[in-house]
Structure 1
């Protein structure tokens, strides 16, 4: 079961988390405000209630995790989300990252390959608040060609390579942020598609993600 009560204690712990993220180098105030606004404990079993605002990942079932808040903030900051941006997210997971993007005013299209997790998303607490958030069950490597092209694409699992079909679905001038490499550690990449269609690749810090897998499970 999950707790949907947001107490003064929870809000205080979120403020502490935001201060920690600032110390770790997150400087985008809009991203920090979104982290502060979203009750992370709503996305976890109530057993994690007291530790939901620690800066670490937690299991959510089906071999998946809710990402470390620093990782969420880091990827979101690199993505440079603008209000009304059309954003494709690969790997819905707990819906926490997608909710941060929706709080920033983006139109979010999020794909989950694990059927059990996708079914849980039907009970998403903020469904009536974030009408700009749409859920899909599918293969992240395929993306959502019928809904593209997208201003931004974010992958929340370790991609073995940059998925070519997702590059195709990125608008000229668009940005994709993803962790790339197999093994225990991945490079965070930001790929910008130029007006001519060529790609500019920037590499950032190392992170550790669960692997991005092909197909659908379930």
Structure 2
């Protein structure tokens, strides 16, 4: 518990430090409760468990990472999830962000392009008892149209542009949170709010560094 409290305090401090960029001096109590309740050490390699609650990303294999806790919390908060929402996540990874979403939304649909990562995440969800998560292997640029529309969409890898398919699958009034930029180059975390007649509002939040969103045919 001491490690979790330290992680939460690190998130609070970084939230205050970046408030001039994000416009957020605090994150919602619901998001912070989810960050407290989901055991991050269960989503990393056992050899890295001692670093699981540090406020930084960690490798999870296949050239992928588990995101920094502050970024996970911030992106979740930006979605403004309601308890009745259906959320689409692009990039399951280890499943940590997915598990956070599952504490806040009614249903979470998550796509991962790397089959082994998807299967490993499914095992973790079953072990930890998360029952409102639906996962499959697929190309994130295509989304998951069969389950659309979604109240919110979150992308956990950087795309060079916002995929049209994801905007199409977003409910009017919904939010898409996505890092946009070049692989290992300049990237910005943005929020797209979908409005009628394609009058979408795009807000730039802060600079970030994510692995690239893989586009498989």
Cα RMSD of the aligned pairs, angstroms, is 1.4
Q: Secondary structure at the match of 1:152?
A: strand
1:123 matched to 2:123? The reply is: yes
- Provide the residue aligned with 1:54 in structure 2: 54
**Correspondence for 1:77:** 77
Q: Distance in 1 between matches of 2:105 and 2:192?
A: 22
Give the deviation of 1:55 after TM superposition: 0.4
- Please list, as runs of the form range in 1=range in 2, the aligned pairs for 1:54-203 lying within 5 A after superposition: 54-126=54-126, 129-182=129-182, 183-203=184-204
Say whether the 8 Å CA contact 1:185–1:209 is kept in structure 2: no
Q: How high is the TM-score relative to the length of structure 2?
A: 0.90
Stretches of structure 2 that go unaligned for 5 or more consecutive residues are: 16-25
Q: Tell me the equivalent position of 1:23.
A: 13
Q: Is 1:14 aligned to residue 8 of structure 2?
A: no
What is the rounded CA distance, in whole Å, between the counterparts of 1:208 and 1:148 in structure 2?
28
CA deviation after TM superposition for structure 1 residue 126, in Å: 4.2
Distance 1:211 1:103, change over 3 A: same
CA contact (8 A) 1:90 1:111 kept: yes
CA contact (8 A) 2:153 2:170 kept: yes
* Alpha-carbon shift at residue 105 of structure 1 (Å): 3.1
Stretch of structure 1 that moved more, 93-102 or 117-126 = 117-126
Count residues in correspondence: 206
Structure 1: how far apart are the matches of 2:47 and 2:129?
25
How does the TM-score come out when normalised to structure 1? 0.90
Contiguous gaps of at least 5 residues in structure 1: 1-10
1:109-155 deviation digits (Å, cap 9, x = unpaired)? 00000012122233124457221110010000000111101100000
18 and 126 in structure 1: CA distance in 2 versus 1, 3 angstrom threshold: farther
Name the structure where helix makes up a greater proportion of residues.
Answer: 2
